[in-house]
Amino acid sequence: MRKGLLFTVVVSCIVLSFVFVSCGPKAPESIKIGINAPMTGDIPKVGEGTKFAAQMWLEDINAAGGIEVGGKKFKVELVIEDNESKAESAIKVATKMITEDEVLVIVGPQSSKQAIPAGGVANNYKTPMISPWSTNPDTTKDRPFVFRGCFLDPFQGPVLANFIKEEFGYTKAAVLYDVASDYPKGLAEFFKDAWEKNNGAGSVVAFESFTTKDVDFSAQLTKIINSDAQVLFTPQYYNEVALIVKQAHELGWDKPIVGSDSWGSAELIEHCGDDCDGLFFSTHYAAAGATGATKEFIDRYNKKYGYVPDDVGALTWDSLRIVQKAIESVGKITGKIEEDRKAVRDALAKIKEFDGITGQMTFTEDGDPIKCAVIVKISDKGEFGFYKSVCP
């Protein structure tokens, strides 16, 4: 009886061991990638460009049979959610994607106002996130799981201040910005610091602000015109830029107006028209005159969607290809979502000399790429033409 009992116990243990092994996590059949974008709200064109670039990327992945990891190909599902251009909605979307949809990685949000709070959620849940377009330092600061596909405002601000000084020789500048939005507020301050470092304290002769949703800037512009400023810098989104430029001209401003990468939407010229002809702004790539892979992307996008992609579309394309490269290099998808997310995060941090359509980039330990900025001049045909490149 003892031998029989011992045999039964041994057999039972073996059977149970097989049961537990078979019940362990299995590699999923597909990989989910979240797209946190402003499909509605103040900047819907940004969300549209994000979505279109992501769908183009997915077409290529499907044509290749999926993303190959460790000799196995995985299908990809895009989970596209609207953050309504609101911080609270971006947080809600990020939380849902991580806890309910179980995405492996999140691309977006784009603008800093949504990317900063959403990045906090992603980092707390240890889920890799890459913002293609957010240039505010706080997006990635002290967040090892958060990356970006663009340069930073501490770089962009001095680039613009130096460009204006070298191009025009001016010594007095004015600034007009949205004090309630992270991106313009931060960039306005970086520009002011750089300008006054070059031209002396007080050389920003007007530092005027407004609040999100404002549409009448006449009071601020009147102060700027009366300040003896030689140039106006306004780091606003395309929908506000058109209003500011038109109102400035109506009030008699006939001097240069310079902008930042938030100007680069396909809708800027539609809203601004001839008023924006000849103006300069910094951005991530120039569509007019592009060559190689950049031109291929532009032509394909234009043929498919009927307009030239802005920097958001190009940066989203690069960010998804960076994510793809990281996933392909992890060696194995285990099915343990926490482990897989950590593996992708570590792979992102190791990417060196990635050749994107918006330039070559290598990630720092903070998740920020080292890359160049482009100065664009708007032609009388409304095209964003390459003017010069500025590198770190």
pLDDT, tens digit, for every residue of 322-345?
999 999 999 999 999 999 999 999
Same domain membership, residue 273 and residue 158: yes
Same domain membership, residue 121 and residue 35: yes
Same domain membership, residue 178 and residue 106: no
* Residues 6 or more apart in contact with residue 10 via CB below 8 angstroms: none
Same domain membership, residue 221 and residue 181: yes
pLDDT of residue 269: 92
Same domain membership, residue 147 and residue 295: yes
Last residue of a domain, one of 241, 267, 283: 283
Identify the CATH number of the domain in which residue 311 sits. Answer: 3.40.50.2300
For 152-165, what is the mean pLDDT? Answer: 96
41, part of any domain:
yes
pLDDT of residue 2: 46
Cis previous bond, 128, omega within 30: no
| Domain count within the chain | 2
392, part of any domain:
no
pLDDT of residue 267: 87
Same domain membership, residue 158 and residue 245: yes
pLDDT of residue 24: 55
14, part of any domain:
no
Percent of the residues in the chain that have a pLDDT greater than 90, as a whole number: 89
Residue 17 scores a pLDDT above 60: no
Categorize the per-residue pLDDT at 289 as very low, low, confident or very high, splitting at 50, 70 and 90.
Answer: confident
The pTM of the full predicted model, rounded to 2 decimals, is 0.89
Same domain membership, residue 159 and residue 264: yes
Alpha helices in the chain (DSSP H): 2-22, 44-63, 87-99, 112-124, 153-168, 182-199, 218-225, 238-250, 268-272, 292-305, 311-328, 337-349
Residue 288 scores a pLDDT above 90: no
Instruction: Give residue-wise pLDDT tens across range 189-235.
Output: 999 999 999 999 999 999 999 999 999 999 999 999 999 999 999 99
Residue 13 scores a pLDDT above 80: no
Q: Are 188 and 210 a contacting pair, CB within 8 Å?
A: no
Same domain membership, residue 159 and residue 133: no
d(CA 327, CA 148): 16
Last residue of a domain, one of 267, 283, 299: 283
Please state the three-class secondary structure of 353-377 as a single string: CEEECCEEEEECCCCCEECCEEEEE
Same domain membership, residue 100 and residue 58: yes
Residue 295 scores a pLDDT above 80: yes
76, part of any domain:
yes
pLDDT, the chain, mean? 93
71, part of any domain:
yes
Helix, coil or strand: residue 290: coil
Residue 27 scores a pLDDT above 80: no
4, part of any domain:
no
Same domain membership, residue 252 and residue 130: no
d(CA 338, CA 125): 9
Same domain membership, residue 53 and residue 99: yes
pLDDT of residue 392: 79
pLDDT of residue 73: 96
336, part of any domain:
yes
Instruction: Give residue-wise pLDDT tens across range 341-368.
Output: 999 999 999 999 999 999 999 999 899 9
Same domain membership, residue 108 and residue 168: no
137, part of any domain:
yes
Residues for the chain: how many in total? 392
Residue 69 scores a pLDDT above 50: yes
- Domain with 188 in it: 153-283
Last residue of a domain, one of 283, 307, 341: 283
